Structure 1
Amino acid sequence: MAQAEFVVVANRLPVDRVDGPDGEPAWRRSPGGLVTALEPVMREAHGAWVGWPGQADLEVEPFEFEGTDLVPVMLTADDVELYYEGFSNDTIWPLYHDVIAAPRYRRVWWDAYVRVNRRFAEAAAAAAAHEATVWVQDYQLQLVPQMLREARPDLTIGYFHHIPFPAYGLYSQLPWRRQVLEGLLGADVIGFQRVADAGNFARAVRRQLRYETRASGIRVPQSDGTSRTALAKAFPISIDAQSYADLAARPDIQARASEIRESLGNPRRILLGVDRLDYTKGIRHRLKAYGELVEDGRISVEEVTLVQVASPSRERVEAYVQLRDEIELMVTRINGDYDTLGHSAIRYLHQGYPREEMVALYLAADVMLVTALRDGMNLVAKEYAATRIDNRGTLVLSEFAGAADELGTSLRVNPHDIDALKETIMRAIEMTPAEQGRRMRAMRRKVLEGDVAAWSKSFLSALDATRENS
């Protein structure tokens, strides 16, 4: 396989292994914004994508898929447990999400994280042509930029951080805080979702490494006594907005939305939550607020139904097992107290759905509840706006989600303040069509203009600029 001019390095390959019609293993494109965003760039550059195929101990030779060279990185069952479930999702994830759950610091997890990051870096170095551009994605691979720079100083290296970056007071807990900062500073451009995240990163660099930071530039000393400038700034990610709008215009999907409303007993208002089952998403706060509104008599289950889609997530991590039990207990209690024979208070769905069904749900919902306690961006908020081609519907959006910086006409809320959350939900339920239209039009304009193609273009332009200036 020829070396590529453009290489993406991500924890996962952009394909899933499935059983083909003849029972033989086959590959199909994964759903997801990142895959969609990078597809045109990959096709144009005939790029390579380095990632794990998604199954432990699966050894696969590099292969081509729809115009992209895929370079699989093998992870053993131990690697998955220690590097992925352990360090990535039981140390970094909770720490970077403001310690909503307690992070665990285990040296054996860190050792595995270093080992696996090196494996990814070596695969990327081998796949990249001379003076190629390499774009590393997300918190599972924070050490890869520096490892790549050491192995291949000719490369232009970008890194994008999809989750929040915490305030220094929290970040400083990490026993390997210097190594992670140095790992990230191997990149020429380090992208974040929010301006605040880029600021938190620069502050950590100043406090820990004593490097000089100016505006978005960080002076990184080199071993030969010179220095280079790494750019750390916000590039808020988005969605393929037009594809959501196109789905929303399809008559079969609109008919499905009517069917959903009917199956719920045609309530006056449908509230919707769509999340991975994760403690950062504020699902408990949302259920509590809804339950209290019913208990207070301010809404009735015949009039207002809550649909909560909670797709399964990290089911081998203890904190997630516990969360599922808590949420299912809350749902059962509220439904047991308030359901009628004809109407459910909460329709709880612990499963994932294809995009078409999600768009039908968005169209059926009068109020979208995004009550994350901490979220890098939250693309569900943008998906809801993109699908509302009727300029109706109301978005209740946590101020702790990155999307709140951009979707200024949503109803923003602090989900920790249950009384305020209840009042905001009532305001959304009672909002006039004229006000819904005014707010939704502004949000849709923002999402359609700042789509995922604009995101990747702005990041890669910044990366090109650093190449020209070096």
Structure 2
Amino acid sequence: MSVDAAEGLMTEHDHPDHPRFDFVVVANRLPVDRVVDGDGNASWRTSPGGLVTALEPVMRETEGAWIGWPGGTVNDIEPFDYNGTWIEPMPLSAQEVEEYYEGFSNDTLWPLYHDVIAPPSYHREWWDSYRTVNQRFAERAAQLAAHGATVWVHDYQLQLVPGILREMRPDVTIGFFNHIPFPAYGIYSQLPWRTQIIRGLLGADVIGFQRAADAGNFQRAVRRLLSYEASGTTITVPTDEDGKVTSGSRNTKRPSGPTRTVVARHYPISIDALAYERLAREPRVQERAAQIRSELGNPRTIMLGVDRLDYTKGIRHRLKAYGELLAEGRLQIEDVSLIQVASPSRERVETYKQLRDEIELTVGRINGDFGTIGHSAISYLHHGYPREEMVALFLAADIVLVTALRDGMNLVAKEYAAVRYDNDGVLVLSEFAGAADELKRALLVNPHDIEGLKDTIMTAVEMPRAERSRRMRAMRKRVMEHDVAVWSRSFLRELSPYQLSRGGTDLLAVVEARPGAADHA
């Protein structure tokens, strides 16, 4: 498509009040949280999430824009600049929160994409709301994107945005990253709107997944539903003359007309490992870690679980194994303590309400059966913590239990490795978490196998110091060398040829030109 044609199409979505940006992030949530003080005054602070940390250098160097929901149903928040990033709030009505977010995103897609650990719900009105909200996000991205801009869309809540945006703005480069698993076709095929979502994702130039298996599952879905040619990490997508996706034919594997090449592969996300290590080395954090051990009575072994309160995290399996080890006398109550941090999550969804009740009953039963006046078997904490407190908990913990039944990555595992600069501690890690592909020196476990989980916990408890050190050193090397900067650059590197071919800014070159970028090369 010519530049003139692209400029003409771009003005179709123009708005005099909207500035233009070479880099636009589209995510369900904003990178900032709205805070209201006791006097009712609202302010903003940076969100603690890994995605915000990952994209901060790109946003800073490109002075980009971020489109997202500010949370709640406050609809009168105007766009604003925050530390060089243009914040574009996308309001949701109470009905959209219920149907698009709590409904289709978290009660249809989330359980389906996590191997139907809980049964998904299929409601047409939820799907209609999902389409409507995705349309609005795409329209806003079309308004904010400069000619030849790069738009990076994130996660399962916005899978239709790439396809809608491609129709509006074929001049832009589009990336999509799926932070959760993508299920095998036998599971994905249950979704009534399976083809529409695949077409939506294929509007992107690069589609990223956490694991190679997830990318393979997506490619198989493309072949089964659309019969497009998929070879290696590339998919050939039929288009019209302007590069827009056409309907194609399930009977035509080699289209005779124009095509686009879409890359679909894995880019495992990571953390700002150096920042975690620096925090762990601060004296006040080390003092807090010692205080935590003291408050627990200085037991021989402290185990730690850190999760959102979600049925995919395997908290019930972890508690069952721990309770049985106490009952069998393989663990002695005076020698061990389990801290379970379970931060609140989706508390208006019925499945999550039931999960919280079940876990709290289990914790109460184990504490009642095995606790003493001076010592509880489990310290259960149903709230979130700031990063500094979490680092202190990691330093205090001899063993971290990550027993997810299905997880795209699980950054807790990587955070624990980054914090343990002393090369001590043991990570018990579910083989169903994406982190298992990288942290191969963890004690890998199938959390459904309760006996196997119990034996693995005992192996961790009894592991000699020298072996703990060897394992942790290897995991730390992986996490430090493949940090969040490497993740974002690897994705931008894949997008770079598309950006250059459309006359856009090569964002990778911009980021790598900043001082200190060579430290991550």
Question: TM-score over 0.5 for the alignment?
Answer: yes
Pair 1:334-2:366 in alignment: yes
* CA distance in structure 2 between the partners assigned to 1:444 and 1:310 by the alignment: 25
Pair 1:394-2:426 in alignment: yes
* CA distance in structure 1 between the partners assigned to 2:477 and 2:285 by the alignment: 22
Q: Which residue of 2 aligns with 1:172?
A: 189
Q: Which residue of 2 aligns with 1:348?
A: 380
Q: Which residue of 2 aligns with 1:324?
A: 356
1:4–1:47 CA contact under 8 A, matched in 2: yes
SS at match of 1:129: strand
SS at match of 1:236: coil
Q: Which residue of 2 aligns with 1:244?
A: 276
* CA distance in structure 1 between the partners assigned to 2:497 and 2:119 by the alignment: 40
1:192–1:198 CA contact under 8 A, matched in 2: yes
Pair 1:190-2:207 in alignment: yes
* CA distance in structure 2 between the partners assigned to 1:417 and 1:339 by the alignment: 26
Aligned counterpart for 2:453 among listed residues 421, 426, 430? 421
Q: Which residue of 1 aligns with 2:499?
A: 467
SS at match of 1:306: strand
Report 1:375-454 matches (<5 A): 375-454=407-486
Cα deviation code 1:247-302 (max 9, x no counterpart) = 10011100100100011111000010000000000000000000000000001111
Pair 1:259-2:259 in alignment: no
* CA distance in structure 2 between the partners assigned to 1:268 and 1:466 by the alignment: 56
Query: Could you tell which deviates more after superposition, 394-403 or 60-69?
Result: 60-69
Q: 2:358 is aligned with what amino acid? A: E
Aligned counterpart for 2:94 among listed residues 77, 81, 85? 77
Q: Which residue of 2 aligns with 1:3?
A: 20
Q: Which residue of 2 aligns with 1:373?
A: 405
Cα deviation code 1:325-376 (max 9, x no counterpart) = 0101111111100001121111111110000000000000000000000000
Computing the radius of gyration from Cα coordinates, the structure with the larger value is 2
* CA distance in structure 2 between the partners assigned to 1:469 and 1:195 by the alignment: 27
SS at match of 1:375: coil
Q: 1:143 is aligned with what amino acid? A: L
| Percentage of matched positions with identical amino acids | 69
Aligned counterpart for 1:53 among listed residues 70, 82, 90? 70
Cα deviation code 1:149-189 (max 9, x no counterpart) = 00000000000000000000000000000000000000000
Mark the runs of 5 or more structure 2 residues left unpaired by the alignment: 1-17, 242-256, 503-521
Q: 1:370 is aligned with what amino acid? A: V
Pair 1:228-2:260 in alignment: yes
How many aligned positions are there?
470
Structural RMSD (CA):
1.0
Q: Which residue of 1 aligns with 2:347?
A: 315
Q: 1:47 is aligned with what amino acid? A: G
1:18–1:27 CA contact under 8 A, matched in 2: yes
* CA distance in structure 2 between the partners assigned to 1:450 and 1:111 by the alignment: 40
How far residue 62 of structure 1 moved from its aligned partner, in angstroms, is 1.2
- TM-score, length-scaled by structure 2: 0.89
Report 1:12-23 matches (<5 A): 12-19=29-36, 23=40
* CA distance in structure 1 between the partners assigned to 2:107 and 2:182 by the alignment: 16
SS at match of 2:55: helix
How far residue 21 of structure 1 moved from its aligned partner, in angstroms, is 8.1
Q: Which residue of 2 aligns with 1:148?
A: 165
* CA distance in structure 2 between the partners assigned to 1:150 and 1:359 by the alignment: 45
SS at match of 1:116: helix
Report 1:41-120 matches (<5 A): 41-120=58-137
